[in-house]
Structure 1
Amino acid sequence: MNIGSKIYYELNTGNVLVNTGERSGDVIMTTTEQDFISYVQLSERVPNTVGMIQLEYGEYAADYAEGGIIARIDLESMEPMFTYPDPIDPETPQEPRPALSKQVEDLVQENLLLKAQNSALSERADFVEDVIAEMAAKVYQ
């Protein structure tokens, strides 16, 4: 059995309290109540001030491989916000941002859209050139 991470966060700030991590093999899914007993950071909290999102097993694997850590949950989109180590200065704290894998996915989609728009504009420019050439030919006849 494969179980994805549970991310517990403060409802008012989105700051992550506990990331349970992924588990696989002979494991069982725990309940929220069990987690509040098992994790000190949760047991010290009032349960209705804590939110939780459940990730799929392997979700954000590429981000974790890059050294990303889920630092906060964006309370509007409910997406995890990551911090990544700065390759030049690893000690400098980084501002949480969307997952790099999500940013890459968004950029790929934007690139496809821009290529389609560029192609359409190119076809339109070719059409306009053809129309101008036809008009010029008629004028100079």
Structure 2
Amino acid sequence: MNNQLFRFGNWIYFDKVTGEILHETGEVWHSDPEYENKRNPFSNIPKLMERIPESVGIIKLKPDELEQDFAEGFLGRVNPETLELEFVYLDPANPGIPQEPRKPLSVEVEELRQENTLLKAQNSALTERTEFIEDVIAEMAIQVYQ
């Protein structure tokens, strides 16, 4: 008998119009490798049973995907226009007041890293150009005053 367990990521069911989170499975360990294909949440999850399946969107995360975001905040909604998850984080200055839902901090950090790399490259190019222009002006001044 095979006792191997398979790990499946979190499935997020949401209202396609409002982005309201209807159900989250959390990560699941299961002995059936076809478990994901056999799930039928519309037959056993009350909040989904009362819905027309076409009105519900599903986002399937990989195991550990957005793990830090789930640890530091909670899933507030799915943006129905972009289909991006939006998290609510507590404001460190006012921990009792949750912030507005926003994209995962891990995604924001990665976007800022990419932007920072681009800005550094642009800054380097501008510095080189400024040095070149200064050299040209210096040569022109030498030519004028000879």
Matched, 1:86 2:91: yes
Report % sequence identity. Answer: 48
> Which residue of structure 2 lines up, in the alignment, with residue 20 of structure 1?
25
C-alpha distance in 2 between matches for 1:89 and 1:133:
56
Distance 1:6 1:111, change over 3 A: same
Q: 5+ residue gaps in structure 1?
A: none
Residue 87 of structure 1 and its aligned partner are, at CA, apart by 3.1
Matched, 1:42 2:48: yes
C-alpha distance in 2 between matches for 1:85 and 1:30:
36
Letter in 2 for 1:57: P
1:51-102 per-residue CA deviation (whole Å, 9 max, x = no partner) reads 1111111100111121x22221112221111111233444324311000000
Given candidates 15, 24, 36, the residue that maps to 1:29 is: 36
The count of aligned residue pairs is: 139
Given candidates 7, 13, 21, the residue that maps to 1:8 is: 13
C-alpha distance in 2 between matches for 1:136 and 1:65:
62
Given candidates 119, 124, 129, the residue that maps to 1:119 is: 124
C-alpha distance in 2 between matches for 1:71 and 1:40:
20
Determine which structure has the larger strand proportion and give its number: 2
Q: 5+ residue gaps in structure 2?
A: 1-5
Segment of structure 1 superposing worse, 101-110 or 79-88? 79-88
